[in-house]
Structure 1
Amino acid sequence: MISYLSAGLLALIGLARLMTVRTGPRHLATFFLSMAAGLAVSADATVRLLGDDLLPRLVTNALQLLAMRALVQLVRSTRSPEKPTAFWPIVLCWALMILCYLDFAPHRFEAGTSDFQWRWSIVTYQVVLTSYAVTCLVLFIRTLARSVAVRPRGTFRTGLRILVCAAVATIGWVLFSGLPSLWLEITDLADLDFLPNARLLGLCAMVLWVLGGLFTTWDGALRLARAWRRIRAVTPLWKELVAAHPQIALPVRHDIEFTLYRRVIEIRDGLLALRAHVPPHLGDWLRTPVDEPTRAAAELAAALVMREAGRSWPQRPVAPDEAYAGMRDESAWLSAVSSAFKNSLVVREVRDRAVAEVR
């Protein structure tokens, strides 16, 4: 159960990385998803279901090597220009592991004996697995440690430091679990006790990877959540303006943050296009003083009615205080306008006055 829970957490972090990084390299997501799949395959329940403990171990080790390669790709992607990672080393390792598996798999019933542990294929398998994984982890630690030193304080740098600790712990796990023949020879562990201890060390390392992944993805997840909330807030206003001026709609792109930028731009274009239809005497329709977002919403409501009626007036210049430099201020302003446009009684009254005047 613990293995499945850890695999689920790693899979969630990997999917969160995929959602956060819509374009560009997704090496960290590949790492988390590969480790999650490896933990699920190596779980006791999965092994019992398959009725074989050697084949799940081969699949798990292959996925672990893929995860290690993703770490190397991650650190190399930080270089400028990006240095590509050759695919042939991991293919060679997989091929050697499969050849070794084909040699020792028929002797699976001899597992636990000294002859089986020191069989040439078993030793080669362990050396290939350990060497590739440790080399990838060392490259990852060296590059990530340099990156941590130049990062500003915050949750992202904390997450990077935890990932460095996780990589160090994973090296210890790989050296222990990847060389069982050596450790069974020099320790008093029985063969049946080795796998539970190796799995415990692996789960400790996975906890560090999960914590590091959570810390590094926290800022991105919060940013996406804020962008989604702002999109929902400006959507009613955006729908009205796109319905009035379909030409302001920009090309669709499936990216949450870009969608927010696009809708803000489209709303601004729509407001500028309707400015000529705002009645100059709209202030006379407002019985009480209102805040700026409500007034802007009232102008929009009246302008939509006048546009349908074909009425327009000379455009007035844009006041300097109507421009908002930052996306946060811009989206907050338009969210307030959208809320007033949908819910304000003042806006409803102005719309009724505009309809009455047109009639």
Structure 2
Amino acid sequence: MISYLSAALLAAIGLTRLMTVRAGPRQLATFFLSMAAGLALSADATVRFLGDDLLPRLITNALQLLAMRALVQLVRGARSPEKPTPFWPILLCWALMVLCYLDIAPHRLEVGTPAFQWRWSVVAYQAVLTTYGVACLVMFTRTLARSAAVRPQGTFRTGLRILVCAAVATIVWVLFSGLPSLWLEITDLADLDFLPRARLVGLCAMVLWVVGGLFTTWDGALRLVRAWRGIRAVTPLWKELVAAHPQIALPVRHDLEFTLYRRMIEIRDGLLALRAHVPPQLGDWLRTPVDGPTRAAAELAAALVMREAGRSWPNHPAGPQPSVRDESAWLSAMSSAFTNSRVVREVRERALAEAGHLS
């Protein structure tokens, strides 16, 4: 159960990374998803269901090497100029592991015996797996430690430091679980006693990866939630303006933060296009003082009516604009007022009456 729970958390972090950085590098998402799949596949229940422990171990180890390669890609991508990560080393490792597996599989009944423990294919398999994994992790740990040292204080920096600890724990796990022949010889452990200990070390490392990943993705998840809420808030206003001026719509991209910024830009373009249709006497229609977003919503409602009536006042001065920092909150409040405010409904009715009178 612990293995499946850890795998689910790793998969959730990986999917969150994919949603957060759809147009950017996805190495961390590849790492978390590969480790999640390997952890679920190597769980006792999965092995019992498949009725074979060698093939799941081969696939799990292959996924672990893919995760290690993703870390190397992340490190190389952070350098300037960016250095591409060749794919042939991991292909070579996979090929050697499969070759060793083909020699190991016919002797599966000898697992746990000294003859099997020091078989050439078993030793070669362990050496390939450990060497590649440790080399990738050492490179990643050094770079991550340097990056954490220069980051400002916050959840992201804390997450990086936890990930450094996770990488060190993973190195220990790879050295321990990747060389069972050596450790069984040194410690005199039985094969059945070695595997639970190796799995326990691996689970400790996975817990650190999960905690570190949650800390580093927390800010990104919060940004996604804020972007989604901002999109919902400004959508009524955006729909009205795009219906009035379809040319302001920008190309569609399935990215929450970009979608929010795009809609804010489109709304501003639409408001600028309608400024000339705002009646100069609108201030007289407001019977009580109102806040900035409500006044802007009333101006929009009147401008839409006057635009349909063909009326315009080209020299109408532009009203005050909010700062970029407060743009989303301003437009959200304006959208709410445009949809729900009694003042805006009254101004729309006055504008309709005025437009009918002028026609």
Category of TM-score, reference length = shorter chain: over 0.9
Amino acid at match of 2:79: R
Q: In the alignment, what sits opposite 1:232?
A: 232
Q: In the alignment, what sits opposite 1:119?
A: 119
Amino acid at match of 1:351: R
How many residues are matched? Answer: 356
Amino acid at match of 2:323: A
| Divergent runs of 4+, >4 A | none
CA RMSD of aligned residues (A): 1.0
Q: In the alignment, what sits opposite 2:322?
A: 324
Amino acid at match of 1:128: V
CA distance, structure 2, for counterparts of residue 317 and residue 302 of structure 1: 15
Amino acid at match of 1:330: E
Q: In the alignment, what sits opposite 1:178?
A: 178
Q: Is the 8 A contact 2:7 2:37 kept in 1?
A: yes
What CA deviation, in whole Å up to 9, does each residue of 1:60-89 have, x standing for no partner? 000000000111111111001110111111
Q: What TM-score does the superposition give when structure 2 sets the normalisation length?
A: 0.97
CA distance, structure 2, for counterparts of residue 289 and residue 325 of structure 1: 22
Q: In the alignment, what sits opposite 2:102?
A: 102
CA distance, structure 1, for counterparts of residue 82 and residue 117 of structure 2: 42
What CA deviation, in whole Å up to 9, does each residue of 1:86-126 have, x standing for no partner? 11111111111111100011010011111011111001100
Q: In the alignment, what sits opposite 1:56?
A: 56
Amino acid at match of 1:4: Y
CA distance, structure 1, for counterparts of residue 198 and residue 91 of structure 2: 25
Alignment of 1:1-359 (within 5 A): 1-319=1-319, 322-326=320-324, 328-359=325-356
Q: Is the 8 A contact 2:35 2:67 kept in 1?
A: yes
Q: What TM-score does the superposition give when structure 1 sets the normalisation length?
A: 0.97
CA distance, structure 1, for counterparts of residue 145 and residue 273 of structure 2: 53
Q: Is the 8 A contact 1:275 1:315 kept in 2?
A: no
What CA deviation, in whole Å up to 9, does each residue of 1:149-204 have, x standing for no partner? 11111111111111110000001111111111111111132111111111111000
Report how far residue 50 of structure 1 moved: 0.9
CA distance, structure 2, for counterparts of residue 347 and residue 58 of structure 1: 67
With 279-288 and 341-350 compared, the bigger mean Cα shift is at 279-288
What CA deviation, in whole Å up to 9, does each residue of 1:261-320 have, x standing for no partner? 11111111111111111111112211111111111111111111111111112332324x
CA distance, structure 2, for counterparts of residue 347 and residue 336 of structure 1: 13
DSSP-derived class of the 2:41 partner: helix
- Alignment gaps of 5+ in structure 1: none
DSSP-derived class of the 1:74 partner: helix
CA distance, structure 1, for counterparts of residue 136 and residue 290 of structure 2: 63
Question: Percent identity of the aligned residues?
Answer: 85
